[in-house]
Structure 1
Amino acid sequence: MRHLLTESLRWHPGRPAWGAAAVATLGCALPLLLGLFSGHPGFLWATVGAFQAAKANPLHRFGMLRMLLLIALGACSAGLGFWSATHPLISLGLFAFYGLLLAWLQRYGNEAGKLGIGLAICLCLGQGQYGIADFNNPYAIAILFALGGLWVTLLAFGMRGVHGLRMWPYMPRLMSLLRVLRRHARRTPIRQWRQHALTYVLACALGGAIVELADLPRGYWLTLAVFTTLQLDMERSLMRALQACLGVLGAAAILIYMGHSLADPPLMVMILLPLIFFGRAFQAHHYGLFVLQATLGFLLLAETLAQDWNLPQMRLINATIGVGIALGATLVMYLLRRLITRRSSKRPQATAQEDQARDATTPRS
């Protein structure tokens, strides 16, 4: 354990976490300060786009390719979430699709799962930010998101030039990439994955529909609680599921209490920038920790410039409902899995009893 901790914190030229942290901090600082001085909500989306792009390390071999992929897909997800905020059925279908997409990406390893959870968070923020400010154009949101990400990309290209690296690395071979993905997919049995995906689809669709039908303000607290809770290995046991739900709910309560106590956008910006720096410098490799870290960062960015911290109860209620939805969907699938296992175990016993009865009634020659 000590050796692993030392290796994870060590700086070396192949993985300069401090450089990526500086790019993330500078990329988020400019739109945050512009939004703080101007009060325009569009800079929030530029900040979110910058934070999404900064998840990729620009000095890795395929870091720039991953960064552009995060920007393009994240902008589409945020725009789709904002567009679906006035259509309950479309929102239900879209959240069900993203739940299925997240479960599908998790089959191909942790890095693909990290891409999926980032897109799901952008979708939740897009839907939950609708109606908060006089800004109701999904195309403008997607463009502002992309501009914030491209600002980080410009900084990343500059850092690659300082380190004497190619501006654009060699592209990966498609067949090699497909072989690696197929190898990851074979680790999970298809029957287990189908139950896993069905849990995601049911919980995410229900969360997106409730936000629309109940017209909940700051609805991303609900949907983010659903996505985050489902990522914490809840399907292992009922005790594990309960611990995950209590952990997410406790973290949400602490975050809401801190935001309500501060309730000062300049002070929150001053606190957030060091958190972004150290959070990116020590970005978690473990999937569950990465989900918590990314969700916390996106929530802080979305709430930094908020002016309604005098109503913390609506955030806590939304988070509680989201955790309850995730726990309920997990319990339903757990009981269904137990029922299927019991029936499958009874079938061989019934077949054996029928064979014994047939042998007993068959006359011997």
Structure 2
Amino acid sequence: MHGNRRQFLTYGGLALGSVLISRGIIAKSQAIANSAPTALNAPAPGETRLVVISDLNSAYGSTDYLSQVKRAIALIPDWQPDLVLCAGDMVAGQKSSLTPAQLTSMWQAFERYIAQPLRQANIPFAFTLGNHDASGSLRNGQYAFAADRQAASQYWRNPAHTPTLDFVDRRHFPFYYSFTQDNIFYSVWDASTARISPAQLAWIEASLASDQAQRSRLRFALGHLSLYPVASGSRSEPGNYLHDGDRLQALLEKYNVHTYISGHQHAYYPAHRGQLELLHTGALGDGPRSLVQGNLSPYRSLTMIDIPRGGTNLRYTTYNMDRLTVVDHGTLPGSLNTPRGYLQRRDLRAT
């Protein structure tokens, strides 16, 4: 299956045209087929390849995306991923003065610049909703940003926009759901706020305990807020990472989840703690941040994950999209002492 699809992307793409990056516009009638810059040549594909992006948005209400975001979307088809995962904040809501028309316009811009090009390239797309997409924060028992959640639901429940995924449970889509691909089980959470509701927590455990999840060769969980804060400044304050992180980690470990993938921190750090790997996806859009420790300057990034056949030793290739270079993991701190506990860089994990 992978070979046929990748051949289609390679040969079909060459026949269909190129990308107009200089104007920041991906022509609707053209496939994304330019070769990646030398610094971004992709490694040889494994059995399953994921591209993980996060935090694509700009200023509140924005209907455009930074050049780094557009460049990333233009380059992704050349890497021939089996799936693109987005860890949230695809649009720039969570502001009460935004009108329903403005919310709709933001999702139309997302469709134009992000979703449609990937769909035209025949690349499946899965996502978790971020606080700027559809915040689940409550005020007097009601959703504080109900209009945001309605706009997100209307966009994603439109049959023209619903991802072509092998859903296991989509009753609560687009807020939380599960699907499988290549015998990998994905549990997607509504982690747009710091608290996971009891109802959702029960759903998470039931889905991870299911026969289908446990028969899968790997299990991943995807949520916007992280279990641990890795970025400096306000991102390390309570409310910017999940409450009850130890309980959530224990739940993930109980059901042998390999990796929890998150966004929101706006700083890239691949970590592990206990038996769980943690991908803190860097921001691709506005506002990249420094890590809570170390002296690295902030940068925009995306991460490619190659999953070998029959193995669990994932290979990460992360790109600095400001400089168009591969991130040297040796330049990242070997460990972080976060306000919630100690994390070690994933490649230093004892085997």
Q: What TM-score results when the alignment is normalised by the length of structure 1?
A: 0.29
Q: Which one has more relative contact order, counting CA pairs under 8 Å at least 6 apart?
A: 1
Q: What TM-score results when the alignment is normalised by the length of structure 2?
A: 0.29
Which structure is higher in helix share?
1
Which structure is higher in strand share?
2
Larger C-alpha radius of gyration, 1 or 2?
1
